[in-house]
């Protein structure tokens, strides 16, 4: 049983973090000409969609958003690890792919996502955006865009809740009861 300990981000803080990351992506990539977003299932997908809407609102242009379901990849179902959620086919060749996830912990999910993307094309750059970086990396992986850095113990858990998948927008630090 998990017990909620601390509210790390409320709805406003999540919204502000996504807006800031959108500005950082535009600044770092000098626009959005080659940018595509890939949300990692589950909560990376609505976060990528929100980021896509922010980018469109700021720059006045559409940015493709795709879903990546790592569980399909891990189960060795190579048929379609990328579920296309945007018009047209996933095309990463020469592009800047921004991977989006809710929490970065050991880095193993991102490693699987990198494998899946590299098998599907040859992006020029792959960047990583996460809402929360909670530390404890087990692989040499870091995020380029971070909503909030949260020092945690290994016994704790960061629970990201989003309206699209949960009943509300909040990020909570939990501990085992």
Ligand X SMILES: O=P(O)(O)OC[C@H]1O[C@H](OP(=O)(O)OP(=O)(O)O)[C@H](O)[C@@H]1O
Contacting positions for ligand X (CB under 6 A): 40, 42-43, 101-109
Q: Minimal distance in Å, beta carbon 112 to ligand URA?
A: 13
Considering only 66, 105, 128, 129, the residue that binds ligand URA (CB under 6 A) is 105
108 binds, among ligand URA, ligand X, none (CB under 5 to 8 A by kind): ligand X
Told to check if 134 binds ligand URA by CB under 6 A, we report: yes
Quickly list DSSP for 68-120. Answer: E-HHHHHTT-TT-SEE--SSS----TT-EEEEEEEEESSSHHHHHHHHHHHHH
Q: Could you tell me whether strands 35-40 and 2-9 are parallel, antiparallel, or unpaired per DSSP bridges?
A: unpaired
157 binds, among ligand X, ligand URA, none (CB under 5 to 8 A by kind): ligand URA
Pick 107 or 147: Cβ nearer ligand X: 107
Nearest to 45 by CA among 94, 96, 83: 83
Q: Minimal distance in Å, beta carbon 39 to ligand URA?
A: 14
User: Residue 111: which H helix or E strand, with range?
Assistant: helix 108-120
Pick 32 or 105: Cβ nearer ligand X: 105
Told to check if 103 binds ligand URA by CB under 6 A, we report: yes
* Phi, psi at 85, each rounded to 5°: -115, 15
Q: Which residue has the tokens 């929490």?
A: 103
Pick 104 or 171: Cβ nearer ligand X: 104
């Amino acid at each position: 049983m998990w017990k909620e300990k601390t509210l790390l981000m409320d709805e406003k803080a999540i919204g502000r973090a996504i807006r800031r990351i959108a500005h950082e992506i535009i600044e770092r990539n000098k626009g959005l000409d080659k940018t595509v977003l890939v949300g990692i299932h589950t909560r990376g997908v609505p976060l990528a969609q929100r980021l896509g809407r922010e980018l469109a609102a700021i720059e006045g242009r559409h940015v493709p958003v795709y879903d990546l379901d790592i569980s399909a990849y891990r189960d060795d179902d190579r048929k379609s690890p990328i579920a296309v959620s945007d018009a047209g086919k996933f095309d990463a060749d020469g592009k800047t792919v921004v991977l989006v996830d809710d929490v970065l912990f050991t880095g193993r999910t991102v490693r699987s996502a990198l494998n899946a993307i590299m098998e599907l094309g040859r992006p020029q750059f792959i960047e990583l955006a996460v809402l929360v970086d909670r530390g404890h990396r087990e692989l040499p992986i870091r995020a380029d865009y971070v909503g909030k850095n949260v020092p945690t113990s290994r016994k704790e858990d960061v629970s990201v809740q989003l309206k699209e998948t949960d009943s509300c927008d909040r990020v909570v630090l939990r501990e085992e009861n």
